[in-house]
Amino acid sequence: MKFDQGQWALLPETEAIYPITVTDVRVEANALTLTGYNHQIHSRASYIHGTVITARFSSPMPDVIRVQVTHFKGRRERQPAFDLDYTLDNPTVTTGRDGDHAWLKTGGLSVSVPTSGEWQYTFQRDGDSLTASEPRAVGLFSRDGVTYLREQLSLQAGETVYGLGERFGAFVKNGQAVDIWNEDGGTNSEYAYKNVPFYVTSQGYGVLVNHPGCVSFEVASHHVSRVQFSAAGHSLDYYLFGGPTMKAALEQYTALNGRPALPPAWSFGLWLSTSFTTNYNERDILANIDRMVALGIPISVFHFDCFWMRELTWSSFLWDERNFPDPAGMLRRIKDKGIKICLWINPYIAEASPLFAEGAAGGYLLHTPDGDTYQADHWQPGIGFVDFTNPAARDWYTGKLKALLDMGVDTFKTDFGERIPTDVRYHNGADSERMHNYYTYLYNQTVFELLRREKGDGEAVVFARSATCGGQKFPVHWGGDNSSTYPSMAETLRGGLSLGLCGFGYWSHDISGFNDTATPDLYKRWVAFGLLSSHSRLHGSSSARMPWLFDEEAVEVLRFFNRLKTHLMPYLLDMSREAHKSGWPMLRAMVLEFPDDLTCRYLDMQYMLGSALLVAPIFNPAGDAAYYLPEGDWRNLFTGEVVSGPTWRRDKHDYFSLPLWVHQGRGSAWDCLTAVFGPEHRRV
């Protein structure tokens, strides 16, 4: 949100108050509090009719500083709050005064504040300036009767910013305005399904704004040498993770709010879907599964999309017996083939669902402020929204899902969760604006924990679309409703790279696009990208995604890359354990693995799959690839060619190839990966 009109004026209808003069600094054993007054002090009369803002600095763990900026301390804390570990106590933190400054230090990270004079504070890492809140960076603004608190953290010359969730626009966030507000908007706009108020920079530090509602970021846009963030209210809480590398910052961030759970090994195999609006029944499903197996393309998971339930009743969690007269028997017949079962669900209950009256009577659905069950004509007529702040509603919802697990279902696709209304009342009294993004956390947590209870640790996995801070604990997430075009394939990758830099370890996407139907050319190119992602799913909207529906060669291409992923599985499972242990994504932006290479800061059409494998998908029908190999020795997995970087390359590839290189300096991965594929396996 913009407040200033350049350097000298405010935007129309905007009022501002800034902490200008330091009036007090309190140094405690484990915290530091800075008090600022909005007047310059000339005499005792200057202390009349003013505003005080405080900034409290503390540290939950080494190299992490928490900043709590407050106006009006008497206001109650609003709920919900992000599920962070607020109990952490850092015994290594030190505080003190030194001349004209006071400081707090934790590990190599410190913050310094003046004990008098102009309000500001500076963060340092190992004695060097990292970022700062400069004079008039903190401000209290009023517009249209709403109060906002703002912070601005300085950027160094050339510093680049990443993250803020799964964003489909430019990978480097400098110059962008980003509102952290979940939307069901597809992948071709500034809207996003997974908004996370966390960013990392090329200087190797990260910032989490600890506010689950709408946080407005101006990233080197409104003020071109600062990252600005603001939220409605009289307080602003954020954490600075000192790194000193982006990987270290992600470790610190996920230590505070949770690491990705370890998905079961079977989830890394190929998922096949009925797709959305296609016609299907048990006969068609079994025929497609058998044909895939006969063609040498085994699948790990079969997914039933929306129409496993009767139309206009979503969600009822009842099989449409017109097409599935014996669902338990059908599931058993599929599982006898060694295939897991996934069902589509969402948190909305249509008025025509048998569950609606039950949910409304039990108080399990969201209410209007005057006490009615909240309903909307969206997606299905008259839907209600499950109130996941109500423990009884969670038990009711999971009870319906458990009956499906008992029938033989293994996992759920937890769709939707973005269009959550704000003119509603929650069971626990939560603030509805703060719940808009946080709803998805409770939704996916509810389903994931059910799976963990019923299936055991290491067997729980969902296929989720929406998320916010902490959602990485409930994998896997997929990129939402992309389109069957090369530009959409590129925007899909940008979304995955940005999400990975917010601690999400696993990520997938609809191979060949959800909307429309890909050309055979695009389908084959996207198959290579999709099978070289952590999780791989064939899914679409109005048409199915079996390879024979495109052309004969598509069958060969899918078989080839499916087998390639199978051969890569020992390496991929190692990288999965690394994501679970450290919070590093399996699909990694080049800058994460090569932070000192300036070229890698801007690369978003190639990526590292784990620590050692470089992948550059083909984004054009000609098969042309232009990509960059950073410093080191690289071996082509298909040809065995060894090339020394740094170097740019241009290649041309058929449908059975793409730039796929392993970095020799990445330990055992070199031997593991180069043993996988050679020229003799060109067309397995």
Residue 80, pLDDT above cutoff 90: yes
What is the per-residue pLDDT for 77?
A: 87
Q: What is the three-state SS of 575-602? A: HHHHHHHHCCCCEECHHHHCCCCHHHHH
Q: Residue 181: helix, strand or coil by DSSP?
A: coil
Q: Are residues 386 and 290 in the same domain?
A: yes
Residue 106 falls inside a structural domain: yes
Give dist(CA 555, CA 670) in Å, integer.
Answer: 30
What is the per-residue pLDDT for 320?
A: 97
User: Comparing 130-139, 576-585, 670-679, which segment has the lowest mean pLDDT?
Assistant: 670-679
Which residue carries 């506010």 as its tokens?
211
Q: Are residues 524 and 462 in the same domain?
A: yes
What is the per-residue pLDDT across 12-59, written as a single tens digit (0 to 9) for each?
999 999 999 999 999 999 999 999 999 999 899 888 999 999 999 999
User: Comparing 259-268, 541-550, 659-668, which segment has the lowest mean pLDDT?
Assistant: 659-668
User: Comparing 80-94, 342-356, 412-426, 606-620, which segment has the lowest mean pLDDT?
Assistant: 80-94
- Amino acid of residue 47: Y
Residue 595 falls inside a structural domain: yes
Q: Are residues 596 and 571 in the same domain?
A: no
* pLDDT tier for residue 675 given thresholds of 50, 70 and 90: low
Give dist(CA 234, CA 34) in Å, integer.
Answer: 16
Pairing of strands 109-114, 9-10: unpaired
Give dist(CA 278, CA 322) in Å, integer.
Answer: 15
Residue 321 falls inside a structural domain: yes
Chosen domain end from 525, 549, 578: 578
Chosen domain end from 549, 578, 607: 578
> Which tokens hold the place of 300?
């790990």
* pLDDT tier for residue 88 given thresholds of 50, 70 and 90: confident
Q: Residue 596: helix, strand or coil by DSSP?
A: coil
Round the average pLDDT of the chain to a whole number and report it. Answer: 96
Residue 379 falls inside a structural domain: yes
What is the per-residue pLDDT for 89?
A: 85
What is the per-residue pLDDT for 99?
A: 87
State the CATH number of the domain containing residue 455: 3.20.20.80
Residue 189 falls inside a structural domain: no
Q: Residue 418: helix, strand or coil by DSSP?
A: coil
> Above pLDDT 90, what percent of the chain?
94
Give dist(CA 565, CA 560) in Å, integer.
Answer: 9
Residue 367 falls inside a structural domain: yes
Residue 430, pLDDT above cutoff 70: yes
Query: CA 183 from chain center: how many Å?
Result: 13
Give dist(CA 504, CA 165) in Å, integer.
Answer: 9
What is the per-residue pLDDT across 194-215, written as a single tens digit (0 to 9) for each?
999 999 999 999 999 999 999 9
Q: Are residues 571 and 627 in the same domain?
A: no
Choosing from 63, 305, 410, 418, the catalytic residue is 418
CB 18 within 8 A of CB 138: yes
Q: Are residues 235 and 304 in the same domain?
A: no
Residue ranges making up the domain that contains 613 = 587-681
Q: Are residues 535 and 596 in the same domain?
A: no
* pLDDT tier for residue 682 given thresholds of 50, 70 and 90: very low
What is the per-residue pLDDT across 126-169, written as a single tens digit (0 to 9) for each?
999 999 999 999 999 999 999 999 999 999 999 999 999 999 99
Q: Are residues 416 and 492 in the same domain?
A: yes
For the sheet with 176-180, list strands across it.
14-17, 139-143, 146-154, 226-232, 215-219, 176-180
Q: Select from 234, 3, 32, 176 the least CA-distant residue to 114.
A: 32
- Amino acid of residue 292: M
Q: Are residues 591 and 572 in the same domain?
A: no
Residue 182 falls inside a structural domain: no
Choosing from 151, 166, 218, 481, the catalytic residue is 481
Q: Phi-psi bin for 638: left (phi > 0), alpha (psi -120 to 50), beta?
A: alpha
Residue 272, pLDDT above cutoff 70: yes
The helices-and-strands tally (H runs, E runs) of the chain is 11, 37
Number of domains comprising the chain: 3
State the CATH number of the domain containing residue 213: 2.60.40.1760
* pLDDT tier for residue 683 given thresholds of 50, 70 and 90: very low
Give dist(CA 244, CA 676) in Å, integer.
Answer: 35
Choosing from 63, 305, 415, 521, the catalytic residue is 415
* pLDDT tier for residue 420 given thresholds of 50, 70 and 90: very high
Q: Are residues 593 and 572 in the same domain?
A: no
Sign of the torsion formed by the C-alpha atoms of 601, 603, 608 and 613: negative
Beta bridge partners of 102: 97, 113
CB 86 within 8 A of CB 74: no
> Which tokens hold the place of 617?
């998908």
Q: Any catalytic annotation for residue 418?
A: yes
What is the per-residue pLDDT for 75?
A: 87
Residue 676, pLDDT above cutoff 70: no
Q: Are residues 225 and 279 in the same domain?
A: no
* pLDDT tier for residue 671 given thresholds of 50, 70 and 90: low
Q: Are residues 544 and 562 in the same domain?
A: yes
What is the per-residue pLDDT across 463-492, written as a single tens digit (0 to 9) for each?
999 999 999 999 999 999 999 999 999 999
Residue 655, pLDDT above cutoff 60: yes
Q: What share of the chain is helix, strand, coil (3-state, %, to 5)?
A: 25, 30, 45
What is the per-residue pLDDT across 236-246, written as a single tens digit (0 to 9) for each?
999 999 999 99
> Above pLDDT 70, what percent of the chain?
97
What is the per-residue pLDDT for 76?
A: 87
Beta bridge partners of 648: 628
Query: Residue length, the chain?
Result: 684
State the CATH number of the domain containing residue 621: 2.60.40.1180
Q: Any catalytic annotation for residue 633?
A: no
What is the per-residue pLDDT across 315-329, written as a single tens digit (0 to 9) for each?
999 999 999 999 999
Chosen domain end from 521, 550, 578: 578
Which residue carries 């079969």 as its tokens?
302
β strands within 430-559, DSSP E = 477-478, 507-508, 536-538
Residue 196 falls inside a structural domain: no
b/e map 615-632, b = 16+ CB within 10 Å: bbbbbeeeeebebbbbee
What is the per-residue pLDDT for 665?
A: 79
Rounded mean pLDDT of 377-389?
96
Residue 667, pLDDT above cutoff 80: no
Residue 453, pLDDT above cutoff 50: yes
CB 610 within 8 A of CB 575: yes
What is the per-residue pLDDT across 53-79, written as a single tens digit (0 to 9) for each?
999 999 999 999 999 999 999 888 899
Q: Select from 526, 516, 532, 617 the least CA-distant residue to 188.
A: 516
Residue 672, pLDDT above cutoff 90: no
Q: Are residues 504 and 470 in the same domain?
A: yes
What is the per-residue pLDDT for 684?
A: 43
